[in-house]
Amino acid sequence: MKKTSFEKLYREHLPDAIEKRLDIQHKPQLISDAVLGGIDGCVTTFAVVAGAVGAGFSAPVALIMGFANLFADGFSMAVSNYEAIKAQREFREKIRCMEEEHIDRIPEGELEEIRQVFYRKGFSGETLESIVQTISQDRQLWVETMLTEEHGLQTIELDPIRSASATFAAFLLAGAIPLLPLFFNAQGIKRQFIFSAILAAIVFFGIGTLKSLVFAKPMLRAGLSTLLTGGAAASLAYLTGYVLRHVLATG
């Protein structure tokens, strides 16, 4: 990763720049949902294609299986993501209510929790007591501090509908690409499979490079890593179809 120049770092850490940056309200990022959906979508449909070709099925059969899996698995994954994020939000709200109750019923105990939290961070004496007093004077800050420091819960809440939609859209978009060559019957199943594999490889590598841009990781390494992961899954599907084809044929 290329290092930021000292001049740029200096400008970014001037008081006005820091204040402006801290005033920005951080919104939930959907990139992880899209990346997860894209990888899983491409893996799922190309694995179906590879397994169908390995088993000796025709292109129309592989196409039907591929699209059936594309919509069914995409919907299932989106619903699972929705339910998981919804459960996280419900759990966070439950903990919030619990902390609110504790502050009302045993405020001294909650003050001691704040005290010990910041004592573990290296504060002591008057500085520590000043921190405890400052936090406890703002009830919302008090509760948010306990959620973060005691329970390890993130402050930015994800939107289950947006996350599920991003997952489903990325799943369909990336997953449909390896199926496109199957529409051209004149090419023959072997050529269709080769073109499908090339398109899948491009999708895998593209998603990997997208991750590198977002998370500031080496582009080539991220692309190849995602490509190898998807390629391994597809190879396993092809091998399974090939083996079962011969096993069932001899049986």
Residue 176's nearest CA partner among 80, 68, 79 is 68
Summarize the chain as % helix, strand, coil (round to 5).
85, 0, 15
**Tens-digit pLDDT profile for residues 37-81:** 888 888 888 888 888 887 788 888 888 988 998 999 999 999 999
Whether the per-residue pLDDT at 127 is higher than 80: the answer is yes
- What is the Cα–Cα distance from 230 to 207, expressed in whole angstroms? 11
Q: How many percent of the chain have pLDDT more than 90?
A: 37
- What is the Cα–Cα distance from 74 to 44, expressed in whole angstroms? 9
> pLDDT tier at 133 (50, 70, 90 boundaries)?
very high
Dihedrals phi, psi of 25, to nearest 5 degrees: -85, 115
Cα distances from 176 to residues 46, 84, 161, 169, 210, in angstroms, run 9, 25, 22, 11, 19
Per domain, the residue ranges of the chain are: 31-250
Q: How many percent of the chain have pLDDT more than 70?
A: 90
- What is the Cα–Cα distance from 54 to 52, expressed in whole angstroms? 5
- pLDDT recorded at residue 145: 92
In the predicted model, what is the mean pLDDT of residues 29-33?
Answer: 78
- What is the Cα–Cα distance from 208 to 212, expressed in whole angstroms? 6
pTM as predicted:
0.74
